[in-house]
Amino acid sequence: MTAELPPPLVAQVRSSLADLREARLSATTWPAVAGDLARLAAALDHGDPASVHNALVPVSRVAYEGKVRSRLAGAGRPAAMVSATKPMSSLPLVGAVCGVLLCGVGYLLGGGVVLAGTAVFGLFIFGVAVAGTRTNAERTEERLARRASPTREALDAAPSAVVHAIREIEQELAS
């Protein structure tokens, strides 16, 4: 019955299935994906392009979510361009002293208006100094804590039942 389907729709189904095969999702999501794949297989058996498109929507959404989660989960690697730093407990103190001195010079040069501008710049200097106290490992840990899943669920590859359903649909598309 897939001979009646338009080629762009068939290509979209194949693309979504390929993305879904590579996706990494939480274990609680995969049973729903298996149900969506069963609906897609039934729609393909029926051969109606509208029902295939309607059944493909949840599958393609999950495949897209899986691609995004996989990329975000891979963001835990250390950044290549960040230079190594070592923590220095005196750096915030030096930044604060420099900021206060800058504010004093600004006040002496131009009064309150210049003081406001130099105070903002002094706070920036202090912020850079405080940021310099964190090591790259601490930055990476913080980024990992905020990554991919707000619930911090483990992301798993497709279980064998889903992979089998994907293979069956692909075989049906090939015939």
Domain segments of the chain: what residues? 2-78+155-174, 91-133
pLDDT in tens, 10-44: 899 999 998 888 887 877 888 888 899 999 999 88
pLDDT of residue 12: 92
Q: Over the stretch 108-123, which tens digit does the pLDDT of each residue have?
A: 888 888 888 888 888 8
pLDDT at site 82: 44
CA distances from 41 to 29, 48, 118, 170 (A): 19, 12, 66, 10
**Does pLDDT of 75 surpass 60?**
no
Q: Does the pLDDT value for residue 76 go beyond 70?
A: no
pTM over 0.85: no
Q: How far is it, in rounded angstroms, from Cα 166 to Cα 159?
A: 11
> 72: which 2 tokens?
């975000």
Report the first-to-last Cα separation within the chain, whole angstroms. 9
Count other C-beta atoms under 10 Å from residue 40's C-beta.
26
Task: Tell me whether residue 81 is exposed, middle or buried, using C-beta atoms within 10 angstroms of its C-beta: 0 to 12, 13 to 18, 19 or more.
Answer: exposed
Place of tokens 């490992």: 137
Q: What is the DSSP letter of 15?
A: H
Nearest Cα neighbor of 30 from 122, 162, 142 is: 162
For residues 75-95, average pLDDT = 57
Q: Considering only CA atoms, which of 7, 48, 35, 10 is closest in space to residue 172?
A: 10
